Amino acid sequence: MFHRSDIDALVNGFTDDCMFQFAEQPPQQGREALRRFFAARLSRQKNYRLTKTLMAVDGNILANVWEGTWEDASSGKLMAGRGLEFWKCVMG
């Protein structure tokens, strides 16, 4: 979905009341906030390529490692990043 920049498919994988936080940004809630986040991010990243590796699952927590490459949309510079994600499923 990231490779195709398919924001609808990305957002539809989450519930209407989802909560998310990316890097130093404050926590946000809801599909519309998620849509704005993905749209802004993908507008800055051309030819984004993402690889994720599942590292652990423990109860309702999932951990993965990600590596991404892209071209900066404004400068054309090739970029790369990597990090960890922790997902927590909260059923209410």
Complete domains list, the chain, with CATH? 7-88 (3.10.450.50)
Torsions phi, psi of 81, nearest 5? -150, 165
Torsions phi, psi of 59, nearest 5? 60, -120
pLDDT above 80 (res 92): no
What pTM does this model have? 0.79
What three-state secondary structure class fits 42? helix
Q: What is the pLDDT of residues 3-47, one digit of tens each?
A: 888 999 999 999 999 999 988 899 999 999 999 999 999 999 999
Instruction: Look at residue 90 in the predicted model and tell me its pLDDT.
Output: 79
Instruction: Look at residue 39 in the predicted model and tell me its pLDDT.
Output: 95
pLDDT above 70 (res 80): yes
How far apart are the C-alpha atoms of 59 and 10, rounded to whole Å? 24
